[in-house]
């Protein structure tokens, strides 16, 4: 029988390693605040959606407004590149592999510092996503392989051409830059805390975090562990069924490559192997890992676009809604009853989601929202 979830028993203690040392010594929020056009993205209260699903409050952080790039990814790439250039200002070009948003973010960040960029995309990347990256000034090459293979190719050509690799996935021997990218992501969690602190009775009880290689989710867990320790919110890691790298790693007890096809509409999560820098943090502070089918992502996109009551309409892409989609699955399916009990989801529970992207592929987005009519 297929395993669709894992209940973790975290120790709530961060491992002392290169990744956590970099996170501890970073102040990404101060850097981001110094950039032109910096503005915290909105935290949106959705009371009617909460009422529909029988919980206390639902809050959603909308990253579609981030620096005009429609995704949170630029927080990591621009911070990492700024730190890299402090040590080596003569770098001429940055290179990365991407499913879409990270590549655009690296291209935008490189351009901000008057540098060139080369972006490698896997074979399934749509023309719309490629065009969006090219519009930021990058040279884009489609690689005949999946995301993990594209990462290996990006490393190879970076070494051959003297380019600087800027990958959000860490492996043995390549940990420093992914950690700086993770540090950049902490800005959005600090913004959330400031917004929640200004609202009555609004501490998040459960946070849903989507995972590709796990860097975003690891950044969130790092934030909550350092701020709250064992009193942190409960955290749920959500992945697509066909790219369940984190869940597979929890089941095996070590970094493991997914046996899925890595083909899902949640393309930003189409990653086969977790980042080793993120994995140690996920083990320390994730309560549940769960994988879901694409149908839940489609439902979540429509739920936000066609809101309940007077809730605000939110435009969120297929990867952006993954956390909410995981919540829908847990609340609906009988096999997840044990997770509802483990997480203690009641009519008084406050839940936080992060929409990590807007409609980054407008053709796919339109197909989803129009199928509801």
Task: Answer whether residue 341 is part of any domain.
Answer: yes
* CATH classification at residue 138: 3.40.50.1100
Are residues 60 and 117 located together in one domain of the fold? no
Residues 121 and 192 in one domain: no
Instruction: Clarify whether residues 51 and 85 are in a common domain.
Output: no
The pLDDT of residue 67 is 96
Q: Which of 134, 167, 200 is the last residue of a domain?
A: 167
CB-CB contact of 268 with 364 (8 Å) = no
Residue 226 domain flag: yes
The answer on pLDDT for 126 being more than 90 is no
Q: Which two tokens stand for residue 121?
A: 């995309």
Residue pLDDT, tens place only, 348-357? 999 999 999 9
* Residue 179 three-state SS: helix
pLDDT-derived band at 44, boundaries 50, 70, 90? very high
Query: Catalytic residue at 291?
Result: no
Same domain, yes or no: 147 and 199: no
Decide if 73 is catalytic. yes
What was the pLDDT predicted at 133? 93
Residue 284, token pair as written in the block: 């320390």
Q: Do 223 and 143 fall within a single domain?
A: no
Q: Is residue 201 part of a domain?
A: yes
**Residue 134: CB atoms within 10 Å:** 15
**232 and 89 together in one domain:** no
Question: Tell me: the pLDDT tens digits for 272-326?
Answer: 999 999 999 999 999 999 999 999 999 999 999 999 999 999 999 999 999 999 9
Q: Which of 114, 133, 167 is where one domain is finished?
A: 167
173 lies in some domain? no
Domain match, 92 and 145 both:
yes
- Are the C-beta atoms of 291 and 30 separated by less than 8 Å? no
How far apart CA 304 and CA 283 sit, in angstroms, is 31
Cα dihedral 200→206→210→214 (10° resolution): 110
Give the distance from CA 212 to its chain's centroid: 7
pLDDT tens digit sequence for 203-230: 899 999 999 999 999 999 999 999 999 9
- Compute the distance between CA of residue 334 and CA of residue 103 in angstroms, rounded to an integer: 39
Residue 178 within a domain: no
Compute, in degrees rounded to 10, the torsion defined by CA atoms 337, 196, 13, 212. 60
Query: Is the domain of 161 the same as that of 193?
Result: no
The model carries a pTM of 0.96
Separation between Cα atoms, residue 213 and residue 203, nearest integer Å: 27
Q: Write the CA distances from 149 to 101, 170, 236, 267, integer angstroms.
A: 18, 14, 28, 15
**Pairwise CA distance, residues 119 & 96, whole Å:** 5
Size of the chain, expressed as the number of residues it contains: 373
Q: Which is the catalytic residue, given 99, 168, 311, 361? A: 99
CA 295 to chain centroid:
19
Note whether 28 and 146 are same-domain residues: no
- Asked whether residue 172 is assigned to any structural domain, the reply reads no
How confident is the prediction for the chain on average, in pLDDT? 95
In a domain, 323, yes or no: yes
Are 273 and 339 spatial neighbours (Cβ–Cβ below 8 Å)? no
* Positive or negative: CA dihedral 211, 212, 214, 220: negative
Statement to judge: residues 47 and 193 lie in one domain: yes
Q: How many domains does the chain have?
A: 2
Domain membership flag for residue 96: yes
Same domain, 54 and 194: yes
Residue ending a domain, choose from 167, 194, 212: 167
Catalytic residue among 16, 27, 51, 73: 73
Range of the domain at 79: 74-167
Q: What share of the chain is helix, strand, coil (3-state, %, to 5)?
A: 50, 15, 35
What pLDDT, on the 0 to 100 scale, is given for residue 263? Answer: 85
Helices marked H in 65-146: 74-87, 101-112, 127-134
Domain check: are 80 and 155 in the same one?
A: yes
């Amino acid at each position: 029988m297929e395993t669709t979830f894992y209940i973790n028993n975290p120790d709530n203690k961060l491992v002392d390693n290169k990744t956590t040392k970099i996170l501890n010594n970073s102040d990404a929020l101060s850097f981001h605040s110094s950039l032109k056009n910096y503005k915290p993205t909105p935290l949106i209260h959705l009371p009617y959606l909460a009422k529909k699903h029988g919980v206390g409050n639902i809050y959603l952080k909308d990253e579609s407004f981030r620096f005009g790039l429609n995704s949170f990814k630029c927080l990591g790439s621009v911070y990492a590149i700024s730190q890299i250039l402090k040590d080596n200002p003569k770098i001429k070009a940055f290179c990365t592999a991407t499913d879409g948003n990270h590549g655009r973010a690296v291209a935008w960040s490189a351009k901000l510092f008057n540098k060139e960029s080369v972006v490698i995309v896997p074979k399934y990347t749509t023309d719309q996503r490629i065009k969006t990256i090219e519009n930021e000034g990058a040279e884009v090459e489609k690689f005949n392989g999946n995301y993990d293979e594209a990462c290996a190719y990006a490393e190879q050509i970076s070494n051959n051409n003297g380019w600087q690799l800027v990958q959000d996935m860490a492996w043995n021997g390549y940990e420093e830059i992914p950690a700086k990218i993770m540090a950049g992501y902490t800005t959005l969690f600090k913004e959330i805390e400031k917004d929640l602190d200004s609202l009555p009775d609004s501490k998040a009880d459960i946070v849903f975090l989507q995972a590709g290689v796990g860097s975003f989710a690891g950044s969130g867990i790092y934030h909550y562990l350092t701020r709250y320790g064992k009193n942190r919110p409960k955290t749920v890691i959500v992945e697509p069924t066909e790219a369940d790298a984190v869940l597979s790693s929890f089941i095996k007890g070590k970094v493991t490559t997914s046996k899925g096809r890595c083909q899902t509409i949640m393309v930003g999560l189409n990653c086969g192997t977790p980042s080793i820098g993120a994995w140690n943090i996920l083990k320390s502070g994730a309560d549940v890992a769960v994988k879901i089918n694409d149908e839940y992502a489609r439902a979540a996109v429509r739920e936000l676009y066609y809101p309940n009551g007077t809730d605000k309409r939110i435009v969120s892409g297929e990867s952006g809604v993954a956390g909410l989609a995981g919540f829908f699955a847990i609340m609906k399916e009988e096999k997840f009853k044990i997770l509802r009990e483990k997480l203690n989801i009641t009519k008084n529970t406050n839940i936080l989601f992060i929409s990590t992207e807007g409609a980054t592929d407008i053709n796919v987005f339109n197909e989803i929202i129009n199928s509801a009519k």
